[in-house]
Amino acid sequence: MNRRESLKAIGLGTLSATAFLESCKPKGEKLAEDTNTQNGPDDEAGRLPTEVARDKKLKEEKFFNPHEMATITVLGDIIIPKDARSGSASDAKVPEFIEFIVKDMPEHKTPMRGGLRWLDVQCLNRYGKSFVDVSSAQQIEMVTEIAYPAKAKPEMQQGVAFFNLMRNLTATGFFTTKMGIEDLGYVGNSPNQWKGVPIEVLKQYGMEDMA
């Protein structure tokens, strides 16, 4: 079977992989609406029954309370705001991803819950209100204290550790959505013919003789 035949065999043809995924989904759902959710298409083909049951159970559980989710949402959008190229962390439903991932990876639960509380207590002592209730300027002032590991004050170290985790989860959550992938410019995951590094790129790095 040649390449074109093999793509036809799995229903790809000259269509993009996105269209292929759409064809696998249950009828009546639109891909564009749910690609930014943490759930994605619920395609169970090839999944073990234990995997399907595990994910269903995780999705039904709730870990963060509404106040914690609100705090995560504000923090996420401070870390990854909307800009000219793409939306914010909450536009990409990063808080929902974080809610899922701490249930899936319980080692994140206490650092996240405790870190959120640490942040609130800091704000309470400084400004008399919890993090979500202080002004935007105060939020940035607080975050600035814990966002730069090398220059943070020693007494801020626990906050730094929390913010590192929050930054990492936010980035991973954002850049693994459709919005984040488009922002990043990853253009793979679709059938093609790999012929090596494009010539203009080889020239840019003086590698013409290597390929």
Partner 1 sequence: MDDIQLKKSATPYDAIIVGSGAGGGMAGYVLAHAGLKVLMLEAGPFFDPKTDSMQLKWPYDSPRRGASTNTRNFGDFDGAFGGWDLDGEPYTTKDKTEFYWFRSRMLGGRTNHWGRISLRMGPDDFKGHHIDGLTDDWPITYDEVKPFYDKVDRMIGVYGTVENLPNEPDGIFLPPPKPRLNELFIMKGAAKAGVKVIPGRGSVLTEALPDNKDRGACFFCGQCGRSCKVYGDFSSSSCLVIPAMKTGNLKVISNAMVREVLTDKNGLATGVSYVSKDDMQEYQASAKIVILGASACESARLLLNSKSSAHPGGLANSSGVVGKYLHDSTGADAGGWLPVLQDRKRYNEDGTGSIHIYGPWVYDNKKLNFPRGYHIEFGGGLGMPGYGFGWGMEGLNGTVPGRDGKKKEAGGFGASLKDDYRRFYGVDFGMAGRGTAIARADNYCEIDPNVVDKFGIPVLRFHYKWSDYEINQAKHMQDTFQHIMHEMGAVAWPSPGADTSYGLEAPGRIIHEVGTVRMGDDPKTSALNKFCQAHDCKNLFVVDAGPFVQQGDKNATWTILALSMRTAEYILAQRNKLNV
**Which of the stretches 77-85, 108-116, 120-128, 129-137 binds partner 1 when contact is defined by CB under 8 A?**
77-85
Phi/psi-derived region of residue 79, left when phi > 0, alpha when psi is between -120 and 50, beta in every other case: alpha
Structural tokens at position 16: 């993009």
The DSSP secondary structure of 150-165, one letter per residue, reads TTS-GGGHHHHHHHHH
Q: How far is the CB of 170 from partner 1 (least distance, A)?
A: 8
- Block residue for tokens 């590094």: 197
Structural tokens at position 128: 């008399």
Closer to partner 1 by CB, 124 or 176: give it.
176
Residue 28 phi, psi dihedral angles, 5° rounding: 95, -10
Interface of this chain with partner 1, residues 135 to 194, rule: CB under 8 A = 143, 147-151, 163-164, 167-168, 171-178, 180-181, 183-194
Q: Is 23 in the site for partner 1 (CB under 8 A)?
A: no
* Options 13, 57, 81, 135; binder of partner 1; rule CB under 8 A: 81
Q: Is 79 in the site for partner 1 (CB under 8 A)?
A: yes
Closer to partner 1 by CB, 124 or 165: give it.
165
